[in-house]
Structure 1
Amino acid sequence: MSDYGMIINGQKVYSDNTFSVINPANEEVLADCPIASKAHLDQAVEAAAKAYESWSRVSDEERAGVCGKISSAIASHSEELAKLLTQEQGKPLEGAGSRFELGGAAGWAGYTSTLKLPEKVIVDDENAKIVQTRKPIGVVGSILPWNWPLMIAVWHVVPAIRAGNTVVMKPSPYTPLSSLRLAEIISAVLPPGVLNCVAGEDELGQWMTEHENIQKIIFTGSIPTGKKVMSSSSATLKRLTLELGGNDAGIVLDDVDPDVAAAEIVQGAFLNNGQTCAALKRLYVHESVHDELCEKLAEAASGIPMGDGLDENNLQGPIQNKMQYDKVVDLFEDAKKQGGKVLCGGEIPDEPGYFMPYTLVADVKDGMRIVDEEQFGPLLPIIKYSELEDAIKSANSLETGLGGSVWSSDLERAAEVASRLECGTAWVNGHGGIAPNVPFGGVKCSGIGVEFAEEGLHEYTNIQIVNVAKA
């Protein structure tokens, strides 16, 4: 029996069936994870539905206080969770790694505790008083990814319960252990059934999206899977928040200072080993600064200490899983065959683990797989352009629309170009920066709805109008 249990109605629940979780740094089995049956899911949903009856009536102030307790609980267990996260996800403890993620998770939970859901008086005269209120939706199903599993769990769960909903959470089968432990820690400060966590493989996600007693699904993951979530949720007309893939473009203008921009571009591209939905994944560089910037980028991206993330000297870990590793390597090899010039990286270590150093490839163009497909790894294509209009057209040419960026010494000019990008967030002289008080979401096929801030909290509510006739 696995040492890791699911959380149903505040209790640890095991399963006769398990699967192995692999440490991507050494390709060894880390531990076994329970596999939920349909009966387990039904029990979790039933517990959430029962808890909703009372949790939805808890005062706004009390729910806010509980979210503050969640933040404190995460912070007090952060080192334990960080080490477990490094072992199953691969990211290093140091840098923008596991400790960074746990700090973000605690901080986001704390900020969410400060958000309000005030009533809005629309009319108040001698004839009527009309008030807009926001009510919780019901049972929320949270389907998590493997790239930032604990931070995104907090993004899903804490605003949901803050708004008065209850939750059934499903971690990625690649990174379930830290999520199960996080759910155990969070549920300890909640009434039984408010947060439930069931683990399994892809079929569990489909059962959740089809379940008649789950009223909303929030999903973070790929566009193809997001489309499946939307389709299977349609029979019950579930409310949806979808944060899907991005193939974010950055446009470097002709007046950029390569010495200033290079390090920031590398950070925006390779945060979390490039395994971030809103990472910089296509870089369009004006021909006048192309060669100098490529030189500076290669310098900034080279020599990053890479290895097992438990070694605190390492700042880059492995790609998280074999399937993603194979895809990234395949895109790299395809680019080389088509004439791509490797500026740095690309050497695959002959040792266990899914390692690939930060890799930059120039002399590529639209239509090549390395440009058109989201790499989701430590691989960045660099495309030379001569006309700005062509670069903007290229940036907007794909189905994705999560983020984008413009790099320039002229902030006013850069902001004007940024406003023309078809994406949810357009950054200037940075890429990927997010904050709990700033709404975040995608356009086109990169998602539906937003997360963070009051706008994100509203995603977990229905509007109710109370119309009182006075005469």
Structure 2
Amino acid sequence: MSATSTHDGIVYANAKELLAAIEPASGGREISDPATGDIVGRVAEGTVADLDAAVERAKAAQPGWDALGHAERRRLLNAAADAIEANAEALAELLSREQGKPLNGPNARFEVGGAAAWLRAATAYDVDPEVVVDDGETYAVKHYRALGVVGAIGPWNWPMMISIWQLAPSLRMGNTVVLKPSEYTPLSVVALVHVLNQVLPAEVLHVIPGGREVGERVAEHPLIDKIMFTGSTSTGKAIIRSSADTVKRLTMELGGNDAGVVLPDVDAKAIAQDLFWGAFINTGQTCAALKRLYVPEEIYDAVVEALIEVAQQMPMGPGLDEKNVLGPLQNQAQYRIVAELVQDAVDSGAKVLLGANPQSDAAGYFYPTTLIGEIDPNSRLVIEEQFGPALPIIKVKDVEEAIAHANALDVGLGASVWSSDRAKATEVAARLQAGTVWINSHGTIDPRVPFGGAKQSGYGLEFGLDGLKAVAQPQIING
């Protein structure tokens, strides 16, 4: 079977055909599969000059895109979602090979499906003018106008879905977009944009793969009006500094080290699977994953036992093997971080409950599913974001101690409370310093529900109506 054309663009039968459409005719940088080391494909590396040219074209195209109006932009974005769904398997296969995540479970096919769903969600709301005062003397109305060009800088952990989180609301509100993907996973984003641009008007959406200098140029570019960034807190701070001279609008979704607080009334077996996926979705490589779990001593052993039982049933291996639901770390640098933090915990006297013994001769960046118990609350594995398949489970005397530890760090993206008493869980949730607190789940995002961080986990909201307003310029017309 080969690629076929439809009125909504080309449908690619598999990742090989999709790669053939996006790879440079010659040259380019090779991208390797983190599960096998095999070459996935080649990407044309953009330069600062390429970025400048793309921004100029996006700037020129923006007034026409804005002039189409909300109804036509909605139609086109829904057609773009159709194009993603028509190419879902090819996109998922490419994503699995480049990022490493398995096809099944909450992984590659899930991510591609989420990309289409979030694209449609950006069309689901009316962004109407809001009358703020009408008292017979003053009549003031708030409107939401396009900003201009949005520069989006994305991460390597959910490259397709987070790109959609950035581009979908921006386009809906009449902006044009220039994406700079992670150097680790550029093919996924280039392929996604290629599929979308089968439907969207020319010059509305651009992608420029490249290195650090391209990202730095996005942050300082005088023609970029807004930056959306998902990534580490340290990189976010650099972007904030670089953007200051042009006073860009910013949405910053930065690093997290999410805490989970278990209350003594839980049924350990009933929550174990949700606890596991809260921590180990995408093999732990998720900003809002559960990264430190606080459990009262009276139920500690039961929670540990239930988690071990679930974790032992989750197969890890190359993503294209349909049976696997956990994959490798995406890159060697991240593998080393996880291995170092786990070894530091073990050397400090923590107890290995499961895993923590990687095969040194294994192909790919596989780190075994690891549970660490009897660990000091101030261990590096607890207070530093591991971003991988290693969960520290900290024993506490009571819920008050758990809350104190949960709030002790300078990050606060998400948190969770686990209890059979919803009222009590809600009371505890209100005391946790995080942008989102889930009850009896962790990281279950929804395109209708606003999402953003507290403290040094960033600022600005994504998703829902709030997310649309965040990529628009409020304008008050008074009189």
- For the aligned pair, the TM-score class normalised by the smaller chain equals over 0.9
Shift of 1:347: 2.7
Distance (Å, rounded) in 2 between the aligned partners of 1:251 and 1:189 = 45
Aligned to 2:427: 416
Query: Which stretches of structure 1, 4 residues or more, deviate above 6 A after TM superposition?
Result: none
| 2:75 is the counterpart of 1:65 | yes
Distance (Å, rounded) in 2 between the aligned partners of 1:446 and 1:15 = 41
Q: How does 1:152-163 map to 2 (within 5 A)?
A: 152-163=162-173
- Normalising by structure 1, what TM-score? 0.95
Distance (Å, rounded) in 2 between the aligned partners of 1:132 and 1:287 = 53
Q: 1:29 aligns with which of 4, 24, 39?
A: 39
Aligned to 2:154: 144
Shift of 1:4: 8.9
Q: How does 1:47-86 map to 2 (within 5 A)?
A: 47-86=57-96
Q: How does 1:442-453 map to 2 (within 5 A)?
A: 442-453=453-464
Q: Which amino acid aligns with 1:298?
A: I
- Larger mean CA deviation between 63-72 and 140-149 belongs to 63-72
Q: Are the equivalent residues in 2 in contact too, given 1:273–1:319 (CA < 8 A)?
A: yes
Aligned to 2:437: 426
Shift of 1:122: 2.9
| 2:305 is the counterpart of 1:295 | yes
Q: Are the equivalent residues in 1 in contact too, given 2:23–2:41 (CA < 8 A)?
A: no
- 1:37-95 CA-partner distances (Å, limit 9, x unpaired): 12111110011000012112221111111111111111111100000000000000011
| 2:286 is the counterpart of 1:280 | no
Q: How many residues align?
A: 463
Shift of 1:266: 0.6
- 1:213-257 CA-partner distances (Å, limit 9, x unpaired): 111100000111111111111111110000011100011111111
Aligned to 2:336: 326
Q: Secondary structure at the match of 1:56?
A: helix
**Structure 2: gaps of 5 or more residues:** 1-16
Aligned to 1:406: 417
- 1:408-449 CA-partner distances (Å, limit 9, x unpaired): 111111110011000011111111111000000001000110
Q: Are the equivalent residues in 1 in contact too, given 2:24–2:42 (CA < 8 A)?
A: no
Q: Are the equivalent residues in 1 in contact too, given 2:297–2:398 (CA < 8 A)?
A: no
Shift of 1:128: 5.2
**Structure 1: gaps of 5 or more residues:** none
Q: 1:230 aligns with which of 221, 240, 249?
A: 240
Distance (Å, rounded) in 2 between the aligned partners of 1:96 and 1:323 = 24
Q: Which amino acid aligns with 2:379?
A: M
Q: How does 1:195-210 map to 2 (within 5 A)?
A: 195-210=205-220
Aligned to 2:314: 304
| 2:351 is the counterpart of 1:356 | no
Distance (Å, rounded) in 2 between the aligned partners of 1:357 and 1:218 = 33
Q: Secondary structure at the match of 2:193?
A: helix
Shift of 1:125: 6.2
Q: Which amino acid aligns with 1:445?
A: Q
Q: Secondary structure at the match of 1:150?
A: helix
Shift of 1:18: 3.0
Q: How does 1:446-461 map to 2 (within 5 A)?
A: 446-461=457-472
Q: 1:214 aligns with which of 218, 224, 236?
A: 224
Distance (Å, rounded) in 1 between the aligned partners of 2:438 and 2:58 = 39
Shift of 1:20: 2.2
Distance (Å, rounded) in 2 between the aligned partners of 1:288 and 1:13 = 57
Q: Secondary structure at the match of 2:157?
A: coil
Q: Are the equivalent residues in 2 in contact too, given 1:4–1:33 (CA < 8 A)?
A: no
Q: Are the equivalent residues in 1 in contact too, given 2:27–2:44 (CA < 8 A)?
A: yes
Distance (Å, rounded) in 1 between the aligned partners of 2:147 and 2:188 = 27
Q: Are the equivalent residues in 2 in contact too, given 1:246–1:401 (CA < 8 A)?
A: yes
Sequence identity (%): 48
Q: Which amino acid aligns with 1:308?
A: P
Shift of 1:16: 8.1
Distance (Å, rounded) in 2 between the aligned partners of 1:303 and 1:333 = 24
- 1:266-310 CA-partner distances (Å, limit 9, x unpaired): 110001100010000000000000011111111111142111111
Aligned to 2:254: 244
- Larger mean CA deviation between 166-175 and 118-127 belongs to 118-127
Aligned to 1:377: 388
Aligned to 2:323: 313
Q: Secondary structure at the match of 2:177?
A: strand
- Normalising by structure 2, what TM-score? 0.93
